[in-house]
Amino acid sequence: MRMFARQGIGVAGHGLKGISLTGLLLSGVVAFGAAPALAQSADSASSACKPTDGPVELSYWSWGAGYADATSLWNSLHPEIQVVYSDIPVSNSGGYQKMFNAVKAGTAPDIGFLEFDNIAAFGSQGYLADIAPYFTDEEKADFLDPVKVLAALGVEGAMYSTPIGGGPMALIYRKDLFDAAGIALPRTWAELEVAAAKVREVDAGATLINFDGYGHANWFAGLSSQHGAQWFGVDGNDWRISVNDAATKETAELWQRMLDSGAASDLSTFSPAWSSALAEGRIWSWPTAVWGAGVIKGAAPATAGNWAVAPLPVWNEADKVSAIWGGGGLSVFNTSAHPCEAARFSLWMATDPEALKIMNAAVGIYPTTKSLLADPIFTQPDEFFGGQKIFDVFLEASAQTPDFTWGPSMTDTYKSITDAFSLAKANGTSLAASLDDAQAAVVSSMEKDGFTVKQ
């Protein structure tokens, strides 16, 4: 992200601000635009927000349990601003495509949930409004730095998203099974590889871990970034692409070894087969993001109390680095007639403790603001995890988020990678070698997207 910010400002800042300004003018909201408001202090929110006469209705597209219920709470509290929630397919599995199609058809919602890795895909097209002017400096300062960087898209002071939940990763594991087998908790990936072999000896029908990369390249992206991979960068007027860099290939090789020896399973993640393997103790651990805690609770309710959360294994014990998988926030489309109300609603969703409590009960949500981190919901012990205060682990992970630049069309990049992995599996070739095919596919796709590309 650092590099992106340094080199992206000039180019990106120009394009994005210009577009969002036009968006504002088109929607007839503020005649003065975003730029002057940015310069103002303290109560810039009130000056940029022109109150609308009469009731306002906003459309809001998202997925994930709990979001609809939180929206209902808002509606009961704010009769003058009613939000209509629509459940759409999950992110890369159709949700973003639906949003892109809606923009093309002129029927985009006011508000859409975008994961951090996909904000640039919409932002680079000029589809999103910069909502920073609608927040006070105090409100903006409360957001944690890592998520603020992700929401800014390299534009100083801009916010193309109101971050709702982070996606810090950790290792969720069956503590009871590890203890019974006398296997120590792995702190490094090398230790995990050894432990995975031991699990096979203890229980031939079980594996320590599942490879989620076949269907979920964003999971693999996170783990590669933990090892120092840099898939994207801006180089002058070009994108530099290297989804097959050395760190990524080493990550692939680690998993290849475990897949070849049978130490890692290759079930399709989130499929019924995968869920029942988790529920029946045939997969002992899952390197996943904070929301994965909620997924496990849903998939394996009978195993409550047997799980625990540990930091993600690292490559080098001296370097404490974690990763993110998912996480995101609410973006306001620049076609919205009420960007201010939309921004205020998104801030409420992200920061209201009651809203967070509803969403957190349904899916694990990692807060994005400093004040919420101190809220009791995030400091309470969790009985499902044997009374562990699991958010402590995720807090530590969040501070160790690696610098990683997201490309302008991540859904498409993920597709190139999962396709290459599928092909490798079908042909019995190696994941690492298939990354070269993925690289070629990403380069070709981005050229078709009209970008100039360097390898």
Partner 1 sequence: MNLSETGSTTAAPAAGAGKTRKTAAARRIDPRHDPRTVAVLVLPFSVLYVAFYILPIAYAVWQSLFALERSGPMRPAVSVFVGLKNYASAILDPAFHRSLLNVLAYGLGPSALTVILGLVIALVIDARPNKKVAKLARAAVFSPFAVPAVVGAIIWGFLYTPDTSPLVDAARSIGWDLNPLAWSPIWTIGNIAMWTYMGFNALIFLSALAALDPSIFESARVDGASPLRIALHIKIPLMWPSIVLSIVFNLIGTLQLFTEPTALRTLSNEISSGWSPSMLAYAEAAANRYSVSATLSTLLAIVTAIVSFALLRLTVRKPRA
Q: Which residue in 24, 409, 435, 442 binds partner 1 (CB under 8 A)?
A: 409
When the beta carbons of 251 and 368 are compared against partner 1, the nearer one is 251
According to CB under 8 A, which residues from 17 to 36 bind partner 1?
19
Strands 111-115 and 56-62 come out as parallel
Tokens of 2: 């650092």
When the beta carbons of 140 and 240 are compared against partner 1, the nearer one is 240
Cα of 104 vs its chain's centroid, Å: 24
**Least distance (Å) from partner 1 to the CB of residue 366?**
27
According to CB under 8 A, which residues from 258 to 297 bind partner 1?
266, 268, 271-273, 276-277
When the beta carbons of 153 and 343 are compared against partner 1, the nearer one is 153
Counting Cβ atoms within 10 Å, is residue 42 exposed (0-12), middle (13-18) or buried (19+)? exposed
DSSP 8-state class, residue 64: S
According to CB under 8 A, which residues from 121 to 150 bind partner 1?
123-126
The strand order across the sheet containing 285-289 reads 285-289, 169-174, 307-311
What is residue 146's three-state secondary structure? helix
**Least distance (Å) from partner 1 to the CB of residue 224?**
19
The C-alpha atoms of residue 384 and residue 304 are separated, in whole angstroms, by 5
DSSP 8-state class, residue 385: G
Q: Which residue in 411, 431, 442, 443 binds partner 1 (CB under 8 A)?
A: 411
Q: Which residue in 64, 112, 154, 292 binds partner 1 (CB under 8 A)?
A: 154
When the beta carbons of 277 and 295 are compared against partner 1, the nearer one is 277
Phi-psi region of 95 (alpha: psi -120 to 50; beta: other; left: phi over 0): alpha
Q: Does 108 bind partner 1 (CB under 8 A)?
A: no
DSSP 99-124: HHHHHHHT---SEEEEEHHHHHHHHT
**Least distance (Å) from partner 1 to the CB of residue 431?**
12
**Least distance (Å) from partner 1 to the CB of residue 263?**
18
Q: Which residue in 53, 237, 318, 376 binds partner 1 (CB under 8 A)?
A: 237
What is residue 168's three-state secondary structure? strand
Q: Which of 273, 9, 322 minimizes the C-alpha distance to 156?
A: 9
Q: Does 422 bind partner 1 (CB under 8 A)?
A: yes
**Least distance (Å) from partner 1 to the CB of residue 56?**
28
**Least distance (Å) from partner 1 to the CB of residue 225?**
20
Contact region for partner 1 (CB under 8 A) — 63-71, 321-329, 339-347, 443-451? 443-451
Q: Does 184 bind partner 1 (CB under 8 A)?
A: no
What is residue 331's three-state secondary structure? strand
Cα of 17 vs its chain's centroid, Å: 24
C-beta separation of 143 from 250 below 8 A: no
Binding site for partner 1 (CB under 8 A): 8, 11-12, 15-16, 19, 97, 100, 120, 123-126, 153-154, 214-215, 234, 237-239, 266, 268, 271-273, 276-277, 408-409, 411-412, 415, 418-419, 421-423, 425-426, 441, 444-445, 448-452
